Every structure is written in C-alpha cells, then in structure tokens.
Amino acid sequence: MKIGLVGEAPNDTQSIKNLLEKRYLANEFIFVSMLQIINGSNLDSQKTKRLLRIEFETQKPDILIFIRDLDSTLPNKEKLYARKNYFTSSNRVVDKKGIPLLHIYEIEALILTDVDVFNSKYGANLKEIENVMTITEPKEYLKKASRKYSESHNADIFELIDFDKTLNCEYFKRFIKNFDKRIASQS
C-alpha cells in the first residue's frame, strides 16, 4: 500500500515517515513525501492544491496523510476551524483519500513522549511529561533544554524514539486508530 505524506516542511514528513516505518513495515507499506517544495502556510494556497492534484495523479497513493501543527494547545476553536478547513479543501483535491494528522502544539510534542532519547542525544535532563499536549511551544521547550537541539535533527530523532511511547500522546493515538481503520477499509 502506498501512503503519501504532505506536511509543512520536508523535515516534518521525513520525521513522520521514520516513525511510521517502525510500525508499518516496508514489505507492505511504501511512504512517499509529496509537495517537497512547499512550506508552512503555502499549503493553504490554490496553487499548492493544483500542484497536489498533479502529484496525486502522478504518485497514485492509496492514502494521504496531511500533517499540520495546530500551533496551539486545546481548546482553540479558531485554529481548529482553520485546520479543518485546510483538511477538507485539500481532501477534495485527492478524491477524499486523505487523513489528517494534527499535532498539538507542534510535531516536537512527539519527541517529548520519549525524553530518554532526547536526554541521551543532547545530554539533557528533561523529566517525563504525563500529557505532552499541554506543553506550549514544545520546540522552544526542547531548545531550552539543550542549545545543541535544532528542528533540523527531528528526522534523526524520530528514527530513535520508541513508537509505543508515542501512543501515550492522545492525539497521535487517535490518529493511529483512524489510520488503521483506513488501511483496513482499503484492504
């Protein structure tokens, strides 16, 4: 099964690819990054949607994962509404084969689910966080814990973090449940 990944930055899609490949094995799933030249808010433009349609027709993924940051903790109805609009309009472009992965607050929240990896890599001393969704600006939180950390390292960190620990993050756990249902319905 071919899974397309559309995100705010190539580093984000590579990070999620590295994480998902731990659970969804290569002999059954192929993850492909799409719209590699598009960043952040450009995802919302009509030009990007036209490019997405072209790439969708070329790549022919069975499922697309739309990866975005909420850039807020919950509840923030205004931001949720904006991301829902993005997903709905983008999903129409790909014949409703999409599924959203909305990070709360940012993708770096998933790194916080396995702080041992971060601590080991950067010599930091972060404590486990019960609910990583409550951390505002997790990227800055990590940078404060270690000046050596950069978001450009995320793809490498996602290769190391424990997939099962990421399921302690409620939004990611819900995403995996929905993703598994979608895979089952495609089979």
pLDDT score for 87: 95
pLDDT score for 134: 96
Per the omega criterion (within 30 degrees of 0), is the bond before 81 cis?
no
Name the residue ranges covered by the structural domains of the chain: 2-106+155-185
CATH number of this structure's domain 2-106+155-185, picked from the four choices 3.40.720, 3.40.50, 1.10.10, 2.60.40:
3.40.50
User: Cα(50)–Cα(54) distance, rounded to whole angstroms?
Assistant: 6
pTM attached to this predicted model: 0.94
**What is the identity of the amino acid at 125?**
N
Nearest Cα to Cα of residue 53 among 9, 94, 86? 94
pLDDT score for 45: 83
**Splitting the chain (187 residues) into consecutive groups of 10 residues, what average pLDDT does each group show?**
95 96 94 85 85 95 96 91 94 96 96 97 96 96 97 97 97 98 91
101 DSSP β-pair partners: 67
Helix (H, G, I), strand (E, B) or coil at 3: strand
Torsion sign across C-alpha atoms 177, 178, 182, 185: positive
pLDDT score for 79: 92
pLDDT score for 141: 97
H or E element that contains 120: helix 115-122
pLDDT score for 162: 97
- Quote the DSSP letter at residue 74: S
